[in-house]
Amino acid sequence: MSIPCLMEDGGGKYLVVDGKPFLALGGELHNSSGSDLEYMDRVVWPALRRLGGNFYLTPAYWDLMEPEEGVYDFTLVDGIIAQARREGVHLGILWFGAWKNGTSDYVPLWLKADKSRFTIVVDENGKPIYQPRLSQFYTMSPLSEELKALDAKAFAALMRHLKEVDGEETTVIMMQVENEVGVWGGIRDYSAPSEKMYRSEVPAEVAARFNVSGTWKEAFGENAPNQMMAYQYAKYVDFIAAAGKAEYPLPMYVNAVVGGGSFAPAGGPDGRSHEMWKAFAPHIDWLSPDLYAPDFKGISGEFVRFGNPFFVPETGGGKNSAGNFIYAMGARNCIGFNPFAIERLFMDNEYYEANPNTLGGGHPFPERHGEGQDLKKAYEIGQVLFPELRKAFAEGRVKAFLQQDSDPKGMMMRGPQDYIEMQDYRFAINYGFSASSPFASNAAGLIIERGKDEFLLFAVNCLIDIKPLSSEPGDVFVTDKHEWYVKDGKLLKGRSLNGDERAALGAGNHPQLISFRLEYMP
């Protein structure tokens, strides 16, 4: 039995499945899709087949898995695994335990009914903190010791079961522990146990790790509320992960709400508290952003610090998803990319029209505008390029660019918006290959050095001008330019591009892969 794991070499950290590097490309299913196996077969899998991903994230629901205390029902988990095997894909399981979107909706009813077994997160006035439009229950405190014990017991039972039913085939390759933890709508928990901690000396392990002393306020100043909550959540989540790994040590991660401006759940594993999480959740293999915010470049950069690999468990599935994926590959060496409610991209339009509230937001018919097809093509190219990209990262031969929503829009004649220097050349990146469709991705791309004067461009919606770095007079010409395409999992050379098509180096409104050679003429 070869258990999926995270490994590291000169090309960075990477997932290993069945003894080989694995790039997890697919998506996260909508919250409730996995609660009905017939719905999965009738609606979801037909849509996913059209995307062709190799990996999908789906929840395991604590309330449905343990309907009575100590009585476990793995029917849904077993059914999803069987369906995934039939489809030839791998799974990541989202443990919806004590928290989902920060609140405790998925805690079993038998536990919710006994308020003596947990503490509720409250504000400074003693009022419960929760999000009525996102939740139908309060947020349980991470200092609730009995809740933690019961959560860990259930998660350990799930991991033990997964080892029994899937330890040989390893259909499930990773676990997300809880979901978007943190105090939503408040700066910290003011319940009695949390208030006592806040006004006490910081724990010795925190004092030693951060070289601080005194109360949380004295040690961390204005960041004290968030740092204390990060400590509470990290310790809780690590306890759950440790219990699960003792049964079956699959890779485990946590996800964070990011880029919400003033809305930033206190204590969540966002960029403000990565050091606290890394220090006190050692059984968590990486921290991941749920990246819907427009600052994809900045936020993704935060999540590759402290040796953290870049894995996206949630992001928007709209027109920019293909471009963001290309950038994540080229700039962040990502190990997985997974838009949320992924089934929506290829869902049958007739079904969607009859059930408009099934999957929440997004354009009701994305495939009409090519969003699903663009992501599918980008995934196909990304999978084939993955081995070459890993080697290029190890040798420093890859660079990337991305147009964000705040960047200038419009046609190329507005001038370059980004620059990349490689070998003896300066690449001037123009955002927008032409008068772009409103449904086209923002400009994005990566460039790999393949040899002296030889390059590979994987990009969408851009035009690139090239000049010599030398101050000496001279011109640069594009020679030996070809397009490439993927067929049956292999990269094949397509048309030779000459004339007008050679002069215009870049990519149109859909992802393209282009190889080219440059020649400098003094």
- Per residue in 322-360, pLDDT (tens digit) is 999 999 999 999 999 999 999 988 887 666 555 655 544
In contact, 114 and 135? CB cutoff 8 Å: no
Which among 329, 325, 449 is positioned nearest to 385, based on CA atoms?
A: 329
Integer Cα distance of 266 and 116 in angstroms: 25
pLDDT recorded at residue 352 = 58
Q: Decide if pLDDT at 17 tops 50.
A: yes
Max Cα-Cα span within the chain: 81
Amino acid identity of 258? V
CA distance 177 to 94: 7
The position carrying tokens 């994005």 is 444
* CA distance to 114, 140, 290, 437, per residue, from 146 (Å): 11, 11, 29, 55
> Using an 8 Å Cβ cutoff, are 291 and 321 in contact?
no
CB 313, CB 253: distance < 8 Å: yes
**CB-based contacts of 28, cutoff 8 Å, min separation 6:** 56, 57, 58, 94, 313, 314, 338, 339, 340, 341, 342
Work out the angle between the directed axes of helices 321-332 and 371-394 (0-180°, nearest 10): 0
Query: 282: which 2 tokens?
Result: 């050692």
Chain segment 444-493, per-residue pLDDT in tens: 999 999 999 999 999 999 999 999 998 888 899 998 999 999 999 999 99
Q: Please tell me the predicted confidence (pLDDT) of residue 261.
A: 66
Instruction: Look at residue 70 and tell me whether its pLDDT is greater than 60.
Output: yes
pLDDT, average across residues 390-419: 82
Counting residues of the chain whose pLDDT is more than 90, the rounded percentage is: 80
Handedness of CA 218, 219, 222, 228 (dihedral sign): negative
Residue holding tokens 């998506």?
27
Among 272-276, 415-419, 474-478, name the most confident range: 272-276
Tokens found for residue 101: 């979107």
| Region 103-122 average pLDDT | 96
Burial string for 39-77 (b: 16+ CB within 10 Å, else e) reads ebeebbbebbeebbbbbbbbbbbbbbbbeeeeebebebb
**414 contacts 391 by C-beta, under 8 angstroms:** no
Structural tokens at position 512: 């393209």
Unique residue bearing structure tokens 């050091």: 275
Region 398-521: CATH code: 2.60.220.20
Architecture of domain 5-394: Alpha-Beta Barrel (3.20)
What is the C-alpha to C-alpha distance for residues 282 and 196, in angstroms, rounded to an integer? 26
User: Half-sphere exposure (CA, 13 Å, Cβ side) for 314?
Assistant: 24
pLDDT > 50? residue 503: yes
Q: What angle do CA 200, 203, 209 make, to 5 degrees?
A: 135
Q: Which of 80, 55, 75 is nearest to 65 (CA)?
A: 75
Chain position carrying tokens 């029994």: 164
pLDDT at 474: 85
What is the rounded average pLDDT of the residues 419-434? 89
Per-residue confidence band for 134, with pLDDT thresholds at 50, 70 and 90: confident
Spatial distance between the Cα atoms of 312 and 291, rounded to a whole number of angstroms = 7
The DSSP element (H or E) to which 153 belongs, if any, is helix 145-166
pTM: 0.94
Rounded-to-integer distance, Cα 480 and Cα 498, Å = 8
Closest CA to 183 of 224, 140, 133, 218: 140
Instruction: Reply yes or no on whether the pLDDT at 439 is more than 90.
Output: no
Distance, CA of 47 to CA of 341 (rounded, Å):
11
* pLDDT for residue 11: 87
- CA angle at 452 for the pair 487 and 330, rounded to the nearest 5°: 50
The yes-or-no verdict on residue 428 having pLDDT over 50 is yes
Are 54 and 91 a contacting pair, CB within 8 Å? no
> 140, 105 in Cβ contact below 8 A?
no
Tens of pLDDT along 311-325? Answer: 999 999 888 999 999
Kindly tell me if the per-residue pLDDT of 403 is higher than 50: yes
Say if residue 17 is exposed, middle or buried (CB neighbours under 10 Å; 0-12, 13-18, 19+).
buried
Residues 335, 336, 342: CA angle, nearest 5 degrees:
175
Domain ranges of the chain: 5-394, 398-521
How many Å apart are CA 210 and CA 382, to the nearest integer?
A: 40
